[in-house]
Structure 1
């Protein structure tokens, strides 16, 4: 099934255009790659796991899809620069950039180790930032318009209880970057959507299988095997990755920013925002002029 994506009366045919997808060998990344393939796109697939990457590419090529693969640890800037240079020289700026690679690990704010922070921030935050820095300027310069999808989490919209503090912090960061990027790219005709899924049936609970060499396994927070088994079982009952990909593409077609796959979190999202609104009190302070200036200078229409 193929659909033209566009906005403001213009339709953009994705056929033959390139999609660069990180974390593309499994889970949501692979589901998005399949969805891009259904649109007739050329798939530029990046992942840290060589075996899984080759299997994913073989699967897609078996369906007649044009696929190019890149071994990539998104938290490694030197490696990312090398991959980006290859992509830009061989394929030009991607029409769709998907910053999807991410890791999840249980680490409470009061008990997380420095290595927990280093690992998750490196992949989830810096990996997203590197993707934006290395590709978005070229996308703007190409004048072709296009799309960016950043994978955050429902924990980027709420305060997640328990032991997800570090992970939640990284996903709040991805959401904030995505919101500002969406405003920045509107004048260039590039649409940004941010994925905020709840539980999805992926292998994210085994994130430590790709622990970088510079992070000692003994230095990250250890979970008891029974706790990991419970989490693994809980996540396995989540929605299918393909459903997330379909919702993401529907958002692109409708030029929607937020992609919230699990409506059951609505009350928690509303409660958090009500608490923030309730904390605003008193007379205007010193930022009135600054805020007015920002509104005049920036493209701050509401994001849908």
Structure 2
């Protein structure tokens, strides 16, 4: 999607933080943007910030866990601006109880929004993007915690973001033959309202450190520009926070060191895996990787 001017973007969680940063970046590039958000306060605040602009945008309230509402939102976007080309599954929450003590409710809520919202966006929009035949792109917001796991208090969140990563990478392979790109966004600390989901009195070391570090978080507009660059270049991954470079390399080395070469392996098994690898390689080539 090299030429984005005049194209239509639909962003969930689009009225604040990362989503609004993407929206403002896309608008500046000449796109038409639908910002969907569950928070009336966020929608009102974003509307005030864009008031007086002659750019093409539209706000709507949307609960990404509501599948009928997602379909209605897609209909509304198409009626207003025409076919959607860029889908950003960005809505998410950041807090849950510690995974070692949490009940089903905490797990269900986190996965319903962070993973279910992405699934609902895919199921609703992918057939429409394929059908209009004009190409397109999907950006799924994971987190650096979808690569580098968090401990107890962030464990449920991290699990949900690992799921988004896996869905996105497979979807990229699946959609490559149809001219639709997929990128996974792995943000680190970025200025947003995620701290508002942190309960009062939460005083564990990780939560307090996160709150302090959030004061120095990345500007969402900077991250939005990184997203737009990735869409234009059809990049599979968006990692705009270089402070994770060494930690990611350490994780890679740990994985490679874990491979054992001393166990028996039937050559026919190796042959099958080589066939699978060649198939994946061809799909990646089609995706531009």
TM-score by length of 2: 0.88
- Determine the structure 2 residue equivalent to 1:224: 201
Structure 1: gaps spanning 5 or more residues: 7-11, 209-221
**Aligned residues of 1:46 and 1:69 also touching (Cα < 8 A):** yes
Q: Does 2:117 correspond to 1:127? A: yes
- Determine the structure 2 residue equivalent to 1:215: none
Q: Does 2:284 correspond to 1:301? A: yes
Question: Within 5 A, what are the aligned runs for 1:161-200?
Answer: 161-200=151-190
**Aligned residues of 1:200 and 1:236 also touching (Cα < 8 A):** no
Structure 2: gaps spanning 5 or more residues: none
- Determine the structure 2 residue equivalent to 1:217: none
| Farther off after superposition, 121-130 or 180-189 | 180-189
- Determine the structure 2 residue equivalent to 1:60: 50
- Determine the structure 2 residue equivalent to 1:257: 236
- Determine the structure 2 residue equivalent to 1:147: 137
The one of 272, 280, 284 equivalent to 2:265 is 284
User: Residue 235 of structure 2: SS of its match in structure 1?
Assistant: coil
| Farther off after superposition, 157-166 or 279-288 | 279-288
1:57 to partner: Cα distance: 3.1
Q: Does 2:234 correspond to 1:247? A: no
The CA distance in 2 between the partners of 1:232 and 1:156, in whole Å, is 20
1:79 to partner: Cα distance: 2.1
User: Residue 15 of structure 1: SS of its match in structure 2?
Assistant: coil
- Determine the structure 2 residue equivalent to 1:156: 146
Q: For residues 266 and 161 of structure 1, do their structure 2 counterparts lie closer, same or farther at Cα, with a shift above 3 Å needed?
A: farther
1:274 to partner: Cα distance: 2.3
Q: For residues 90 and 235 of structure 1, do their structure 2 counterparts lie closer, same or farther at Cα, with a shift above 3 Å needed?
A: same
- Determine the structure 2 residue equivalent to 1:109: 99
**Aligned residues of 2:144 and 2:188 also touching (Cα < 8 A):** yes
The CA distance in 2 between the partners of 1:36 and 1:268, in whole Å, is 31
| Farther off after superposition, 279-288 or 164-173 | 279-288
- CA RMSD in angstroms, aligned pairs only: 2.3
| Farther off after superposition, 252-261 or 85-94 | 85-94
Between the two proteins, the alignment pairs up a number of residues equal to 281
1:193 to partner: Cα distance: 1.4
Structure number with the higher helix fraction is 2
**Aligned residues of 1:103 and 1:207 also touching (Cα < 8 A):** yes
- Show structure 1 runs of 4+ deviating over 6 A: none
The CA distance in 2 between the partners of 1:295 and 1:93, in whole Å, is 35
Alignment deviations for residues 23-45 of structure 1 (CA, whole Å, 9 cap, x no partner): 00100100100011011111111
Alignment deviations for residues 23-81 of structure 1 (CA, whole Å, 9 cap, x no partner): 00100100100011011111111000123213313433522112222211112223223
The CA distance in 2 between the partners of 1:296 and 1:229, in whole Å, is 47
| Farther off after superposition, 17-26 or 264-273 | 264-273
The one of 50, 61, 67 equivalent to 1:71 is 61
- Determine the structure 2 residue equivalent to 1:236: 215
TM-score by length of 1: 0.84
Q: For residues 234 and 143 of structure 1, do their structure 2 counterparts lie closer, same or farther at Cα, with a shift above 3 Å needed?
A: same
Alignment deviations for residues 153-187 of structure 1 (CA, whole Å, 9 cap, x no partner): 00111122342100000111111111111111211
Alignment deviations for residues 248-267 of structure 1 (CA, whole Å, 9 cap, x no partner): 11222332211112222122
User: Residue 153 of structure 2: SS of its match in structure 1?
Assistant: coil
User: Residue 149 of structure 1: SS of its match in structure 2?
Assistant: strand
